[in-house]
């Protein structure tokens, strides 16, 4: 949440800051601002609303200079307003700060500073930091930031500039990501790699409690005690095009269309020259796999539904118990970590605050952590004991699509790997599943051909006020994911139910014309789903079914059908989620919403 960019070099800072912020808008977009050093002063421009509002302000009131910081906000403390936008400054306007995170002890600090005569203009926790740095400032900006941060509790990624230090940006982090980009005669700071890709792919990842001094000539990193740290430069492989819309009207549609390639890129490195499954380097060699007694999966949002799919896949193929928990619940329920647990963390960004905290808790209790993540260098990737990357490339749209399907693929590959070692699947069954996994990218490609059909469905139904998704077994997590997608970007009220639970309450919601989306891919459960469809139809529901062409029972009953590509039972989530993603997308477009930046949401949730 919140995007930060900093630039120091020879070029016009404001252009680089605005361009960087536009790549980070997915982190928050309720206000934006910049502070640029120009001729002995810091010029601050900030505005409530999308980045375009700031652009318009800058046209009227331009700023010049070659050093500055910028911010795009997702409000926590203080409603979105011009005043609450970042950067925040000290009273004299000589120090400016942008911040991502939450200063938890800000009221106490505010009281302390208030007693010393400081006055406040905003409701934010960040403004306190600007005054606190001022309070400690004795002529050295780096020391002032270090001193101030010693008194701060909570999470932060910050950039600080001062009119008295035109040659440096001070950056620091704790529990919120910050990347330092290295250039020739210019250097950069950003919350996330996409903001830097146009300028450099050589980056340093700042660690918790570290503070950096970024000048035109170089980057110096110091640990929490002020001792210089040697950090190896990391070369990012993502290319610039991957973080651009490339002719698509929205990132979300582009990312849905990238799914076949993302899946292939995730699959290929795990197949060796002999065409065999080859998963190495995860600490899951024979002995370790045999020692697993339970799998515990923790994640948030869409990634947690990948975890729910994992429960069905691992239990079925490995015959060991699997627990799936939301990270925000896990971290506060005094969880039991046992010998023989395999602890799986799933996170696209690798930065989600709750997921990170849950992982740290499990680790502190002795669990060995395997992370499935998309972002190389992310905090979770660095702190986990082992990482299985989804090679989906940058995912920019807030609604997760290709990250989800590649997470599912990693789960399937892990299950195959472990099942072979444990001998928990028959050889022929294993071979068939492995072959089917390799066919998945092509099946997903074929599934994308249903785009026009889905678009027509969206056109017919985008005006509904409620939609209910039903599914059993592996279709249940996809019902939940489909429902989440629909509500987050089209704002249609939507819920998902395990179809067997209908009669225990949810069926009371069904009335004439209610839209029910029934996902039915599990052949042995077609009859059960057919009964559920009959039950809702008898109460007036309009049923849109998503099922393979052989599901005659379902096809006969449904009012409309989106036909799914056929595949092995354990792999169906990779197929059935595609039309669910497209449906949410087209409903949002039909309703005229900003698909990539849905209201109130942010892609990377780095605060609790």
- How far is 519 from 471, CA to CA, in rounded Å? 5
Instruction: Spell out the residues 6+ positions from residue 434 whose beta carbon is closer than 8 angstroms to its own.
Output: 277, 416
Residues 85-144 interacting with ligand G6P (rule: CB under 6 A): none
| Size of site (CB under 6 A) for ligand G6P | 15
Give the residue numbers annotated as catalytic, written as ranges: 2, 603
The residues pairing with 202 across neighbouring beta strands, listed in sequence order, are: 235
Minimum CB distance to ligand G6P, residue 399 (Å)? 6
Dist CA 200 CA 202 (whole Å): 6
CB of 176 to ligand G6P, least distance (A): 13
Identity of the residue, 158 or 489, whose beta carbon is nearer to ligand G6P in the bound complex:
489
Considering beta carbons, is residue 152 or 253 the nearer one to ligand G6P? 253
Cα separation, 31 vs 54, in Å, equals 8
Residue position matching structure tokens 């896949």: 313
Distance separating alpha carbons of residues 81 and 86, to the nearest angstrom: 10
| H or E stretch at 18 | helix 13-24
Q: According to CB under 6 A, which residues from 565 to 604 bind ligand G6P?
A: 601, 603-604
What does each C-alpha distance from 379 to 239, 364, 383 come to in angstroms? 21, 16, 6
Among 197, 205, 147, smallest CA distance to 176 is for 205
Interface pick for ligand G6P out of 72, 85, 176, 355 (rule CB under 6 A): 355
Residue pair 491/462 in contact (Cβ under 8 Å)? The answer is: no
Residue from 348, 379, 390, 576 in contact with ligand G6P (CB under 6 A): 348
DSSP alpha helix (H) spans, 274-352: 286-291, 301-318, 327-330
Instruction: Pick between residue 164 and residue 594 the one whose CB is nearest to ligand G6P.
Output: 594
Burial class (CB in 10 A: 0-12, 13-18, 19+), 242: middle
Contact between 605 and ligand G6P by CB under 6 A: the answer reads yes
- Per DSSP, the three-state class of 548 is strand
d(CA 33, CA 122): 14
In angstroms, rounded to a whole number, what is the distance separating the alpha carbons of residues 242 and 197?
10
Candidate residues 85, 191, 264, 349; the one interacting with ligand G6P per rule CB under 6 A: 349
Query: Least CB distance from residue 594 to ligand G6P, whole Å?
Result: 14
Nearer to ligand G6P, 50 or 523 (CB): 50
Q: Which is nearer to ligand G6P, 37 or 205 (CB)?
A: 205
| 599 contacts 28 by C-beta, under 8 angstroms | no
- Please give the Cα distance from 603 to 586 (Å, whole number): 20
The residue within the footprint of ligand G6P, chosen from 347, 490, 521, 532 (CB under 6 A), is: 347
Residue 94: CB minimum distance to ligand G6P, A = 37
Question: Going by C-beta distance under 8 Å and a sequence separation of 6 or more, which residues neighbour residue 413?
Answer: 267, 270, 277, 279, 388, 437
Nearer to ligand G6P, 302 or 308 (CB): 302
| 290-319 binders of ligand G6P (CB under 6 A) | 300-303
CB of 172 to ligand G6P, least distance (A): 23
Cα dihedral across residues 39, 41, 45, 46: positive or negative: positive
Cα–Cα distance for residue pair 512/20, rounded to 1 Å: 49
Footprint of ligand G6P on 381-410 (CB under 6 A): 398, 400
Q: How far apart are CA 112 and CA 128, in angstroms?
A: 10
Residue 326 contacts ligand G6P per CB under 6 A: no
Q: Is 138 left (phi over 0), alpha (psi -120 to 50) or beta?
A: alpha
CA 95-100-106 angle, to 5 degrees, is 70
- Beta strands (DSSP E) in 2-130 are 3-8, 31-38, 41-48, 67-73, 88-89, 95-100
Shortest Å, Cβ 72 to ligand G6P? 15
How many residues does this entry show for the chain?
A: 608
Angle, helices 402-422/572-590, rounded to nearest 10 degrees: 170
Contact pattern for ligand G6P over residues 194 through 233, marking x by CB under 6 A: ----------------------------------------
Binding site for ligand G6P (CB under 6 A): 300-303, 347-349, 352, 355, 398, 400, 601, 603-605
């Amino acid at each position: 949440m919140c995007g930060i960019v900093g630039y120091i070099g020879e070029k016009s800072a404001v252009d680089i800051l605005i361009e960087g912020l536009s790549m980070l808008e997915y982190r928050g977009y309720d206000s934006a601002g910049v502070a640029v050093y120009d001729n002995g002063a810091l010029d601050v421009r900030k505005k409530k609303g999308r980045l375009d509002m700031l652009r318009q302000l800058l046209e009227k009131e331009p700023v010049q200079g070659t050093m500055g910081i910028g911010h795009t906000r997702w409000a926590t403390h203080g409603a979105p307003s011009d005043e609450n936008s970042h950067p925040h400054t000290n009273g004299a306007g000589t120090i400016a700060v942008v911040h991502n995170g939450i200063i938890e002890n800000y009221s106490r600090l505010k009281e302390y500073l208030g007693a010393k005569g400081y006055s406040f203009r905003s409701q934010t926790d960040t403004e306190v930091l600007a005054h606190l740095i001022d309070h400690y400032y004795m002529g050295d900006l780096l020391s002032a930031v270090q001193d101030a941060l010693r008194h701060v509790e909570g999470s932060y990624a910050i950039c600080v500039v001062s009119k008295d230090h035109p040659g440096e940006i001070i950056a620091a982090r704790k529990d919120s990501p910050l990347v330092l980009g290295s250039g020739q005669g210019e250097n950069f700071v950003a919350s996330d790699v996409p903001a830097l890709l146009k300028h450099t792919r050589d980056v340093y990842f700042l660690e918790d409690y570290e503070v950096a001094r970024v000048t035109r000539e170089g980057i110096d990193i110091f640990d929490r005690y002020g001792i210089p740290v040697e950090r190896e430069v990391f070369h990012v492989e993502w290319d610039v095009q991957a973080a651009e819309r490339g002719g698509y009207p929205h990132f979300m549609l582009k990312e849905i269309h990238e799914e076949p390639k993302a899946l292939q890129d995730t699959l290929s490195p795990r197949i060796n020259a002999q065409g065999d499954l080859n998963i190495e380097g995860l600490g899951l060699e024979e002995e370790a796999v045999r020692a697993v007694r339970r799998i515990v999966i923790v994640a948030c949002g869409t990634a947690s539904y990948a975890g729910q799919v994992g429960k069905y896949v691992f239990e079925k193929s490995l015959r060991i118990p699997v627990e799936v928990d939301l990270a925000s619940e896990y971290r506060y329920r005094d969880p039991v970590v046992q010998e023989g647990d395999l602890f799986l963390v799933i996170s696209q960004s690798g930065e989600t605050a709750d997921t990170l905290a849950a992982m740290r808790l499990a680790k502190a209790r002795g669990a060995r952590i395997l992370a499935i993540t998309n972002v190389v260098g992310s905090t979770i990737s660095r702190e986990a004991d082992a990482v299985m990357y989804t090679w989906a490339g940058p995912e920019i749209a807030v609604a997760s699509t290709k990250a989800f399907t590649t997470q599912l693929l990693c789960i399937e590959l892990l299950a195959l790997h472990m099942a072979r070692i444990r001998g928990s699947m028959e050889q022929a069954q294993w071979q068939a599943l492995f072959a089917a996994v390799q066919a998945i990218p092509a099946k997903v490609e074929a599934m994308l051909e249903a785009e026009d059909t889905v678009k027509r469905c969206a056109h017919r139904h985008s005006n509904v006020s409620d939609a209910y998704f039903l599914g059993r077994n592996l279709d249940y997590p996809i019902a939940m994911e489909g429902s989440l997608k629909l509500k987050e970007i089209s704002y249609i009220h939507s819920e998902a139910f395990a179809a067997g639970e209908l009669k225990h309450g949810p069926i009371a919601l069904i009335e004439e014309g209610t839209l029910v989306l029934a996902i039915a891919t599990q052949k042995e459960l077609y009859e059960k789903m057919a009964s559920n469809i009959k039950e809702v139809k008898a109460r007036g529901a309009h049923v849109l079914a998503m099922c393979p062409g052989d599901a005659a029972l379902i096809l006969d009953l449904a009012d409309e059908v989106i036909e799914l590509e056929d595949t092995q039972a354990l792999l169906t989530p990779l197929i059935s989620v595609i039309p669910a993603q497209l449906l949410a997308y087209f409903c949002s477009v039909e309703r005229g919403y900003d698909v990539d930046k849905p209201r109130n949401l942010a892609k990377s949730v780095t605060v609790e």
